[in-house]
Structure 1
C-alpha cells in the first residue's frame, strides 16, 4: 500500500511527525510527499526559508504534472493525505481525485486550536484594506465554498484534535486525535531541563516573516527594526520585574542572528523550554499547548504602536483576548505594570480547554495507530 501526501508547503522535517512518515515506512508502507507549493495559485508569493529534500519528496512543477501523476494512481492501493485549501481555483484537483475513485483523508492538527482562538469577523471586515484583486478572489471563494454543493471535496476521514467536533467540516467520518504537542509533551515531560537556571521563555511565531502572511494575502506593516527594538525593551522590563532572563524558543522555520540582542535563541527545543520555564510569553503561538499541559503561566504580549493599527495584527490581539477568556492568560502591552506578571494558573480551565481542543479521550491508543487503522478499514471497504 502506498500513502501519498499532497501538501501545499515545501517539505520540512516537521512533516515527518505530522504525517507519521517514519512509522509508515517502518511498517512496510510506501510513502511519497508531493509538494505543490510551486503550482497552487494561493501559494504565489509565499516565502519559505526551507525546501527540504528526501528520497520520497517530489516537487510538482505544473498542474499538468500533478494531473498526470494522479492519473497513474491505483484506487486499490494508493491512499491520499490531502493538505491543500479547497478554493475555486483548486477545485479541479479535488475533482480529479474524485473522478479516479481515490480515497483520501485530511489530518488537521490546527483546526480546533486555531478556531477556538479565532475572533468572529464579518464578511466586510475580512475584505477591509485588501487590494481589489484579492477582494475579488476572496468573494469568489466565499460564494463558491458556502453557497454551492461540492461533494467531491469531502474527505473519507477527517482527523482533528480534541473532543469537540463543533468546527469539523463535512466529512464521511470525523475522528479525534491528540494534538502532536500532546504526544511530544508526554515524551519529554520527565527529561532533564535544557538550562541549569530559571528563565522566562518567549514562544516566537516568526511574526515578520511567516509565509502564512503571504498565503492569506496580508501585508506585514511592522518595521523590522522598530519591532525588535520594542520587543527587546519589553523583554528588558520583564527581566527587571521577574529577575529572570528571557530565552527565545525560536520558530522552527526561522533563522535569527542578533535580532534579540544577546538573549539566548534556541531552536527545536520548545517543549523542553516551556516545561521547565517559570513563565511563557507569546504573541499567539499554538505551542502554548505545552504551557497548558505543564501548567505554566501564560502572558500574551501585544504592542500598542503596531497591533491596534492594522486589521491582521488586531485579529492576533483579539485572539489573545480569547485566550484570556478561555484559560485565564494575561494580556499586556509594552506599557505594562510589573504587578501583572504575578500570574496564577487556573488548572480547571486549562484542563477543560485541553480536553475540548487538544486531547482525545482514549490515551491508550496512539495517533499513528488510529490513523493507520482508519486507513486500513477505509481501503478494505467496497
Structure 2
C-alpha cells in the first residue's frame, strides 16, 4: 500500500511547549533523521484564559494558533504527519474532525500515563458512578464511544502505547491503526544516560509537583488539593526533621512548569535534571510524580507523603495508589509521629520490578528511543 512521503512532523500541543516537550517529543531524533519538526500550540483556543507563560525555548519552530481556521493551511500539507499530544475528548472533537477533513495522517500516544489510573475504576463505588450519570457525562461517553465516533473522526494511523494498561487512546484507535508498543518517555532518558557516570551524593531529592499552582488545575477548572501557605509550611517543617534524622541535605527537583521562586526557603532548587538527581541521591521523597519511574529504574528508597489537606481530596487516592505500587504506605507529614528510618530505607525489589514491567517498559521491546522505533515503523510502512 502506497502512502504520501512524510517530511514534516507537526506536534499539536495544548500547552506552550517547554524544553521538556522538546525532549518528550523527540525533536532532536526527528531532526537527525532529516525531518522538519515544528510545534502547533493550540492553547489559546483550548484554554484562552490560562495564566501561564513558560520561558521560550525555540520560538522559531513554534506556531501559535489563535483561531481554528489558522490550522487549515498547516493541515493541508501533502507531506505532513501530526503527532497529536492533545487527547480526544468532547472538547477536542473539532480538532480530530479537522484531521478527517484534511485526511492528515496522525499518531497518538499516552503523553501523561499515570500508574494510578489502573486502580481508579475498581475503587469507584456504585454511588459515585450514579453521581456521574449526568447529562454532560452522558454526552462525553457518547463522544468517546466507538459506535459514535467512527462516523465523526478519522482513526489514528499510529498509536505509541507505553504499556498494556494504557487505554486513554482507545477512542482514536481503529482496526487499521498500527499499534507500536514502546516504553515510557522516562525510559528514553534512562537509555540516553546509560553510559554517563554519576557519583552518589549525600542528598535527599524531593520530586516537586507544583501542587498549589500547577496550571493543570486552571485547565481542568478544578481546585488545587493544597493551599500554598499550609503546603509549603508543612513540607519545609518535614524536610527540617528529615535532614536532622538522616544528616542528608534535601534538594528540590523542580517541576518543569513551576514558575514561582523562593517556595522552598534556602533549599537548592534544580530544574530539568530530575534523572541525574534521583540517580545520585540516597533517598527520594514524593507524592505521586511520574518521575518515580526513575526511583524504580535506579532502585532508590522512597518516602511517599501526604498532608492533612491532601487527605481530604481525591489526590490522596492517587498518592495511595502510587505508594501501593512500591509496597509503601504514605506518611502524613502533618502528623507528629517520628520517622521510622528502617521502613523508609527498605526496598521491595519485586514491587519495583513489577512497577517497571507494568508501567515503564513492556518486557521484550527494543532498547532504543521510542521515536527511533516510530521512524523505523514509518520506514517499514513506506511513509519515508
TM-score over 0.5 for the alignment? yes
2:279–2:294 contact (8 Å) kept in structure 1: yes
- 1:164 is displaced (CA, Å) by 4.8
Asked whether 1:156 is paired with 2:157, we answer yes
Name 1:259's counterpart in structure 2.
Answer: 263
1:263–1:89: structure 2 CA closer, same or farther, 3 Å change rule?
closer
1:185–1:366: structure 2 CA closer, same or farther, 3 Å change rule?
closer
CA distance in 1, matches of 2:170, 2:126: 19
Across the aligned residues of Structure 1 and Structure 2, the Cα RMSD in angstroms comes to 2.8
- Structure 1 unaligned blocks of 5 or more: none
- 1:362 is displaced (CA, Å) by 2.6
Asked whether 1:87 is paired with 2:89, we answer yes
Name 1:36's counterpart in structure 2.
Answer: 42
Name 1:317's counterpart in structure 2.
Answer: 316
Name 2:216's counterpart in structure 1.
Answer: 212
For residues 92-107 of structure 1, the aligned pairs below 5 Å read 92-107=94-109
Name 2:358's counterpart in structure 1.
Answer: 356
- 1:10 is displaced (CA, Å) by 0.6
For residues 300-379 of structure 1, the aligned pairs below 5 Å read 300-304=304-308, 306-309=309-312, 314-334=313-333, 335=335, 336-339=337-340, 341-360=343-362, 361-378=364-381
For residues 1-382 of structure 1, the aligned pairs below 5 Å read 1-40=7-46, 43-50=47-54, 52=56, 53-70=58-75, 72-74=76-78, 77-111=79-113, 113=115, 115-116=117-118, 118=120, 120-121=123-124, 125=128, 137-138=136-137, 140-146=139-145, 149-151=148-150, 152-162=153-163, 164=165, 169-170=170-171, 171=173, 172-188=177-193, 191-193=196-198, 197-220=201-224, 222-304=226-308, 306-309=309-312, 314-334=313-333, 335=335, 336-339=337-340, 341-360=343-362, 361-378=364-381, 380=383
CA distance in 2, matches of 1:214, 1:165: 25
CA distance in 2, matches of 1:62, 1:327: 45
Name 2:3's counterpart in structure 1.
Answer: none
What secondary structure does 1:23 align onto? helix
What secondary structure does 1:38 align onto? helix
CA distance in 1, matches of 2:92, 2:163: 29
CA distance in 1, matches of 2:212, 2:274: 19
1:11–1:51 contact (8 Å) kept in structure 2: no
2:110–2:168 contact (8 Å) kept in structure 1: no
2:303–2:344 contact (8 Å) kept in structure 1: no
2:118–2:165 contact (8 Å) kept in structure 1: no
2:310–2:316 contact (8 Å) kept in structure 1: yes
TM-score (norm 1): 0.86
CA distance in 1, matches of 2:272, 2:18: 13
What secondary structure does 2:294 align onto? helix
After superposition, give the CA deviation of every residue in 1:139-185 in whole Å (9 maximum; x if it has no partner): 53234324852122531111121355666515223222121212222
After superposition, give the CA deviation of every residue in 1:270-293 in whole Å (9 maximum; x if it has no partner): 111111111111111100011000
- Structure 2 unaligned blocks of 5 or more: 1-6
CA distance in 2, matches of 1:51, 1:122: 43
TM-score (norm 2): 0.85
Runs of 4+ in 1 over 6 A off after TM superposition: none
1:199–1:246 contact (8 Å) kept in structure 2: yes
After superposition, give the CA deviation of every residue in 1:270-318 in whole Å (9 maximum; x if it has no partner): 11111111111111110001100011112111101x1123xxxx32211
| Matched length | 365
1:20–1:186: structure 2 CA closer, same or farther, 3 Å change rule?
closer
